[in-house]
Amino acid sequence: MSRKKILLSGFIILILAVFLISVNQFYFLVKSRQILLNTFFIAEDDLIGVDISSYQGDVDMSKLKEQDIRFIYIKATEGSNHVDRRFAENWKNARENNLPAGAYHFFSYDSSGKKQAENFIKTVGELEDCLIPVVDVEYYADKEENPPEKEDLIRELQAYLDALEAEYDVKPMIYTRMDLYRKYLKGTFDDYKKWMSSFYYPLKWGYKDDWYIWQYLDQGQLDGLSGGIPYIDLNVLNKEKNLRSLMIPKVYHLDSGRSG
């Protein structure tokens, strides 16, 4: 091999090495959250919302509105008997500040879907003029290493969804992450609205099905949080959707003229 070819081969190897080091370094920075890649894909005209639970401590809803937060989902219940200790307070404050609000339930693989629905309905009550209810389906504790059987999850989740639809006359929305969606939900729950999480890269890079909300960041920092963790989940509404399509309309009784 000529000296010229040797030099060219060495140069190519050097460029490839630098490229691979750069890619690996970039990957590390993204995974360690030193680079929040998703924030570069959020536009000024996007409709941004948050979801909260007792972990956020005291939440000043008026402060959230000042920062252009346009909707909020509040944890209400988990499993068949747990109620988030700040749900009533957060729910009241969101409604008083005219911040479009919805309630969500953290689904358990260890109790019946019907019992979980009863817990949610008893806790939340009426939902007229609120965002549609959401069920949060994800792994918890050791469930990722010891996942539930698919047929068991589908049966109990469907029982939960059916009970809520019977109560509120609207299909709930399902929140989940992409891998769990592919393993358990795809093909069975396709007619339910989807709220998908993807924290490290844009949702569209790994998910092609229909969605309404993308949870793009779990370490958002906003004013108005105190007494809990300093981070809040940030979400964006699909540009092709309308927030009004997620609202449960008021029902007016013809015999009284009052909202029911």
Q: How confident is the model at residue 250 (pLDDT cuts 50, 70, 90)?
A: confident
Q: Which residue's structure tokens are 């396709």?
A: 190
CB-based contact 78:84 (threshold 8 Å):
yes
Q: What is the pLDDT of residues 105-149, one digit of tens each?
A: 999 999 999 999 999 999 999 999 999 999 999 999 999 999 999
Domain range annotation of the chain? 1-35, 40-246
What tokens does 251 get?
């029902």
Longest CA pairwise span in the chain (Å): 96
Q: Model pTM? A: 0.86
Looking at 3.20.20.80, 3.30.930.10, 3.30.1600.10, 3.40.50.1820, the CATH number of the domain 40-246 comes to 3.20.20.80
Cα–Cα separations (whole angstroms), residue 215 to 48, 56, 76, 86, 218: 10, 17, 18, 22, 8
Helices 113-124 and 87-96: crossing angle, nearest 10°? 50
Q: What is the pLDDT of residues 139-178, one digit of tens each?
A: 999 999 999 999 999 999 999 999 999 999 999 999 999 9
